A and B are shown apart, each in its own frame.
Chain A
């Protein structure tokens, strides 16, 4: 498989190293001559093209037409969009992934016909908000731009809701304990279901009551 990566920095370096190590044919385009030299000294099995990856002539030099995958991960969104669109329209690349540094550009790229757009900001923000805020939170999926969240919570020993019927738990309105996973069993709780320590529960909560609901279930502030 031929992979074209446009961009630089450590992340791109490690990505190239790993992909080349797995036997993929990797080509990198980078504007910075010094960085190109560094890449070529350290990575033996990749092809390096020094130039502006959004320039159609440079893409031609990098034989962009033979690429199975194009990854546009420069630090500038306008460059990533241009690379993605050139790859699609001029070189007919099938799989194109483009980084939207500004998460707001994710929707813009999609509207402009780049479905393979991704953004790292929400991933990192989620990591921080989940782990630091509530250690019991395993996973949080925002829906409709975060108006509703699906949250996975493990009930620890301090949880105030253990071993009592769910109907007696003072959960706020606009939220629902949709499911509890106890070892292998999937339990859809009813009013008389009692949650137990170690249960992994799936909470669906509107944004305005989310933190309150999580606090109520975990016992943390």
Chain B
């Protein structure tokens, strides 16, 4: 059940990351709306997910209008497509004014453009690589230009 500090969170992209996240956030008591292009993606939502699932193309402004964007505290653009995440994140932030927006970034080479456009990103490839490197007996190697994000 939602509690006092419960947030309203929209997750766009219901693949491995999006559905896992949707389950975890539900469990923490947040209100989650999970969005995906394909209805079949919702089959991957875990049991602990208690939110709403909605089939929509988030790159289509008319579809975004069907989402509870007025009351959303946060949007997570978690599709596997960096350009989709970039469009959705910018629309959410600049056009819809959602207070907190986070985008998943697959391609490390595109990190700079996301940063230039002031989109908060999480890059699984970077995080995974760092974890592996840190676990090496050689000790941790700090990659050039890396920031704590």
Inter-subunit contact B112/A90 (CB<8 Å):
yes
- List chain A residues, Cβ under 8 A from B84: 78
Least Cβ distance of B42 to chain A in Å?
Answer: 22
Please indicate which of the listed interface residues B84, B90, B94, B110 has the most CB atoms of chain A within 10 Å of its own CB: B90
Inter-subunit contact A77/B109 (CB<8 Å):
no
Among A8-16, A63-71, A103-111, the one that faces the other chain is: A103-111
The CA-CA distance from A76 to B60 in the complex, in Å, is 11
Inter-subunit contact A77/B112 (CB<8 Å):
no
Q: Which of B95, B112, B117 contacts A56 (CB 8 A)?
A: B112
Inter-subunit contact A104/B62 (CB<8 Å):
yes
Inter-subunit contact B87/A81 (CB<8 Å):
yes
Inter-subunit contact B109/A56 (CB<8 Å):
yes
Q: Mark B61-85, 1 if CB is under 8 A from A, else 0.
A: 1100000000000000000011110
| A-side interface size class | 20 to 34
- List chain B residues, Cβ under 8 A from A107: 61, 95
The CA-CA distance from A104 to B62 in the complex, in Å, is 7
Q: Counting CB contacts under 8 A, is B55 at the interface?
A: no
Q: Please judge, given known A-B contacts A78-B87, A108-B95, whether A55 and B107 are in contact too, CB under 8 Å.
A: yes
The CA-CA distance from A79 to B88 in the complex, in Å, is 12
The CA-CA distance from A57 to B61 in the complex, in Å, is 29
Q: Counting CB contacts under 8 A, is A185 at the interface?
A: no
Least Cβ distance of B35 to chain A in Å?
Answer: 15
Inter-subunit contact B61/A102 (CB<8 Å):
yes
Q: Counting CB contacts under 8 A, is B54 at the interface?
A: no
The CA-CA distance from A4 to B39 in the complex, in Å, is 37
- List chain B residues, Cβ under 8 A from A105: 59-61
Q: Please judge, given known A-B contacts A55-B107, A111-B95, whether A82 and B86 are in contact too, CB under 8 Å.
A: yes
Which 10 residue pairs across A and B have the least CB separation, nearest first? Answer: A104-B61, A78-B83, A78-B87, A82-B83, A78-B84, A89-B116, A78-B59, A79-B83, A112-B90, A81-B87
Interface residues of B (CB under 8 A from A): 59-62, 81-84, 86-88, 90-91, 94-95, 107, 109-110, 112-113, 116-117
A sample of 17 more A-B contacts (CB under 8 A), given A78-B81, A85-B117, A112-B90, is A55-B110, A56-B109, A78-B86, A79-B83, A81-B86, A82-B83, A82-B87, A85-B86, A85-B113, A90-B113, A90-B116, A102-B59, A102-B62, A104-B60, A105-B61, A107-B61, A112-B95
